[in-house]
Amino acid sequence: MNTADISPATVTLQAGVSSADVNALQDLLVTLLNHPVSIGLPIVRAAFLLGDPALMDLRQRFTAPEGLYAVQESQRFTALADHALAAGTQVGLSSENNGSIACHTCRLLGTDITMETRVRFLMPDAIRALVAPKLHARMVGAGAKALLTEKLTADHIALYTALAHDPNPLHNDPEVARAAGFADVVAPGMLLCALAEAGIRHTSPGTQIIDLRARFLSPALVNAPVQVVVTARAGTKSRVFVVSEAQDIHAIVDVFTAD
């Protein structure tokens, strides 16, 4: 990336992530997957840090320039495990933005814990030209397990975006989504990450998840279910595919565990 803007800063969280919000996320995942939540805090709750008043400026950096639309390209959580995200925690911030791609990183100072979000700003023609790759059996291998969600309704998406303080209108404004080139509003990439993580926890109860790295390849539309396909574990790594009923790949999520 040709860096046009690097803005390092240190902030102190004023609110952190509340247990009520974490419980609401777990309840949402139970509803969508129709499966009890395994014990353990979801590491994707770190995305809720964007709701902290101290991170308001960072949240605004996800807004696309006029005439463009923000489409999430990737997400990474590193070394998070079950670390508390409480008020008073110091967070180091850095942002890179060249007008077409932005990368924002949060690091909990004194730890190896990071959250990195990469967003691409696209014109409608570029969005319409996106073609989702298909999931093939050779990509999954033997021993994979699949979970089919309930339909991702506008209410489900609105609940998630409220918890995450996600300002992207592509998730809640059908007119904006259609103007961008989508058929309707689309699910946030981080909701797909949460479903992938929940899939690991459901298929391997008691697993301690450390890292999560996601690539987003196509939109998951409102009022359609997704399938969470968890491949057989290879050492400490499991790969999860989040796909449509037509086997279009929405996201590829690599999940790393402690053991």
Residue 82 has pLDDT above 70, yes or no: no
Q: What is the pLDDT of residues 180-202, one digit of tens each?
A: 999 999 999 999 999 999 999 88
Show the DSSP H helices in the chain as ranges.
19-33, 56-60, 124-128, 137-140, 154-164, 174-180, 189-203
Q: What is the pLDDT of residues 234-248, one digit of tens each?
A: 888 999 999 999 999
pLDDT at residue 1, as a whole number: 45
Q: What is the pLDDT of residues 19-55, one digit of tens each?
A: 999 999 999 999 999 877 666 788 999 999 999 999 9
Residue 71 has pLDDT above 90, yes or no: yes
Helix (H) or strand (E) segment spanning residue 237: strand 237-243
> What domains can you pick out in the chain, each with its CATH number?
9-257 (3.10.129.10)
Tokens of 227: 């399938």
Tokens of 77: 């959580």
Q: Which residues contact 228 (CB under 8 A, 6 or more apart)?
A: 33, 146, 147, 148, 149, 195, 196, 198, 199, 240, 241, 242
Does 14 or 8 have the greater pLDDT score? Answer: 14
pLDDT at residue 5, as a whole number: 54
Q: What is the pLDDT of residues 104-155, one digit of tens each?
A: 999 999 889 999 999 999 999 999 998 999 999 889 988 899 999 999 999 9
Q: What is the mean pLDDT of residues 73-93?
A: 89
